[in-house]
Amino acid sequence: MTSASTRNTPPSSVSGQAAPGVRKVDDRRVARTRRSIDTAFIELLKQRGYEAVGVSDIVREADVGRATFYEHYTSKDDLLRSQLRHVSSLLRAGPRDAAALDATPLLAHVRDVPLLYRLVAGRTAAARTLRILQDVLEERAGELLDARLRAGAALREPLAPPVAARVIVASLCALLAWWVERGMPESPAEVQRLFEACTATMISG
């Protein structure tokens, strides 16, 4: 006879792990929940701005429990960082004879989907959100610089990797602001060439 506890236990594989079918259902549920939270967050940002949005607003808009929110994100800032890491992942290592970073894919994303950038770094955005954007971009820039240095590249003296990452990201953010404020008439490739002119001498090899 099957006990109640056995009936309520998710099926498992021989190894004791959850069966593949169960994992797929759980993965889909997690993905749906994250999409609901992310969509609610962006909608609230559009309506109110970052500082006026709280976790309670997000969970109400997403129709999820507060505990569910904290299963996925530690805070509102953590949620924003998660959104921005998707964007920062578009930064690539630059060619050996040009800038330390290739921002062309990121620039193309901002041109095609400018909303998130305007919300966190536009003229009406909070200083806090711009700082989070810069932190996330610096994190990605640092990873790419470290990979270049391990491959034999060298930074111009007396630059250290953390300083180089911050200066590179500051240049990128300044160019982004200039470009967006002008209505983005230049192509991403043209802005990338400007970025290279600003940063190419920082790294060799």
What's the count of helices (H) and strands (E) in the chain, helices before strands? 10, 4
Q: Is residue 183 part of a domain?
A: yes
Q: Which residue has the tokens 């806090």?
A: 128
CB 11 within 8 A of CB 19: yes
Residues 6+ apart with CB under 8 A from 77: 128, 132
Structural domain contains residue 99: yes
Closest CA to 91 of 199, 181, 180, 204: 199
Tokens of 183: 């209505």
Q: Which residues contact 99 (CB under 8 A, 6 or more apart)?
A: 168, 192, 195, 196, 198, 199, 200
Q: Do 115 and 57 share a structural domain?
A: no
Task: Say yes or no: 127 and 181 in one domain.
Answer: yes
Q: Residues 136-182: pLDDT tens digits?
A: 999 999 999 998 888 888 888 899 999 999 999 999 999 999 999 99
Confidence of residue 93 (pLDDT cuts 50, 70, 90): confident
The secondary structure of residue 65, as a DSSP letter, is -
Residue 149 tokens read as 């240095």
State the Cα–Cα distance between residues 188 and 4, nearest whole angstrom. Answer: 60
Specify the 3-state DSSP secondary structure of 204: strand
What are the Cα distances from residue 167, in Å, to 39, 117, 173?
Answer: 32, 20, 10
Tell me, yes or no, whether 169 lies in a domain: yes
Domain count for the chain, please give it: 2
Same domain for 192 and 107: yes
Residues 149 and 49 in one domain: no
pLDDT top residue among 19 and 72 = 72
Same domain, 120 and 161: yes
The domain boundary residue, chosen from 73, 103, 119: 73
Q: How confident is the model at residue 98 (pLDDT cuts 50, 70, 90)?
A: low
Of the candidates 30, 50, 73, which is a domain's last residue? 73
Range of weakest confidence among 19-23, 87-91, 164-168: 19-23
In a domain, 11, yes or no: no
- 194 has pLDDT over 90: yes
* Domain endpoint, select from 49, 73, 97: 73
Average pLDDT, the chain: 86
State yes or no: pLDDT of 97 exceeds 70.
Answer: no
8 Å CB contact between 91 and 137: yes
- 98 and 193 part of one domain: yes
pTM: 0.81
The CATH code of the domain that includes 33 is 1.10.10.60
Closest to 136 in 3D by CA, of 75, 84, 80: 84
Per the structure, the complete domain to which residue 26 belongs is given by 19-73
Phi then psi for residue 154, to 5 deg, are -140, 145
Contact indicator for 148, 140 with CB cutoff of 8 Å: no
Taking the CA atoms of the chain, what radius of gyration do you get in angstroms?
Answer: 22
In a domain, 194, yes or no: yes
Q: Clarify whether residues 51 and 126 are in a common domain.
A: no
Residue 100: band (very low, low, confident or very high) from pLDDT cuts 50, 70, 90: confident
pLDDT recorded at residue 20: 53
